[in-house]
Amino acid sequence: MNHKILLGVNIDHSATVRQARYRDHPSDRGGEVEPDPMDIALQAQRAGADSITIHLREDRRHVQDSDVIRTKDSIQIPLNLEMAATSEMSRFALKLLPHSIVLVPEGREEVTTEGGLNLLADESRLRHIIDAAKAEGIFVSLFIDADPEQIDAAIRFGTDAVELHTGKFGHAWGTSSYREELEVLKAGAKRAHEGGLFVNAGHGLNYTNIREARTIPWLHEMNIGHSIIARALSTGISEAVREMKVRIDGGP
């Protein structure tokens, strides 16, 4: 289990900042319109990010189609597309052909994704999207809670990986229950690994709780966005990415 954990940098919140001012602007980049998520991705790549994660939501609340396309065409590291399990998003992914996709739940009332997919609710639709993506050589992950039934369903579906939702652990940090949530994640990771899946993790991870989160066994990649973009407001994106890489590797 002594292996390097990869860092996927989620750039969504750079687009959130842009859209707060320029949602109705005729252009999504150039001139006064900033920041440019593609530029943030390139800086993160130069600072050592192992992949770039980007979430194109159905309502286009932050990331726009052009952000995804331009970023995919510009970076030399894998692009990981977070997407709802819908026909529209599936068609977009099959045209884009990113390195990987993560199927996530979406709620219009959410500020950011909260909770994992319920794989038992719509097995036929999920299997269709998974099979179509894998047929095109796209690596497929499912964003789920570390629940044994959900993990077993992911194994049955033939996905490549699961991304364990670490939000409950993140929310519990500083309380007496965070260790309990960590143990749930550790058990889930072990179950997924034994089922032949890659194990990723994401949501609510930051520069403080990463010390404990990195002890989850069999982790392949951590996808982190809000904390890195927030830190970048003080240090710049390059330093924010470098610091997170050091902490994932067990540094101070």
Contacting residues for 204 by C-beta, under 8 A, at least 6 apart: 166, 167, 169, 170, 171, 173
User: Is the residue at 1 inside a domain?
Assistant: no
- Domain holding 22: CATH number? 3.20.20.70
pLDDT at residue number 109: 55
Domain limits for position 140: 6-248
Position 114 scores a pLDDT of 61
- The answer to the question of residue 120 being in a domain is yes
Residue 67 lies in a domain: yes
- What is the predicted pLDDT for the residue at 252? 77
Predicted local distance difference test score (pLDDT) of residue 1: 46
203: annotated active-site residue = yes
Instruction: Tell me the C-alpha distance between 116 and 105, whole Å.
Output: 6
Beta strands, E only, the chain = 6-10, 51-55, 79-84, 100-104, 139-144, 161-165, 198-202, 219-224
* Annotated catalytic residue within 82, 163, 181, 221: 82
Which positions ≥6 away from 20 have C-beta within 8 Å?
none
pLDDT tens sequence for the chain (252 residues): 457 999 999 999 999 999 999 999 999 999 999 999 999 999 999 999 999 999 999 999 999 999 999 999 999 999 999 999 999 999 999 999 999 999 999 865 554 556 799 999 989 999 999 999 999 999 999 999 999 999 999 999 999 999 999 999 999 999 999 999 999 999 999 999 999 999 999 999 999 999 999 999 999 999 999 999 999 999 999 999 999 999 999 887
User: Do 100 and 50 form a contact (C-beta atoms < 8 A)?
Assistant: no
In a domain, 20, yes or no: yes
From the candidates 165, 193, 203, 226, give the one annotated as an active-site residue.
Answer: 203
165 tagged catalytic: no
| Residue 40 in domain | yes
Active-site residue 55, yes or no?
yes
pLDDT at 202 (0 to 100): 97
Q: Which of 55, 165, 220, 226 is an active site residue?
A: 55
The number of distinct structural domains making up the chain is 1
In this structure, what token pair is assigned to residue 234? 């003080």
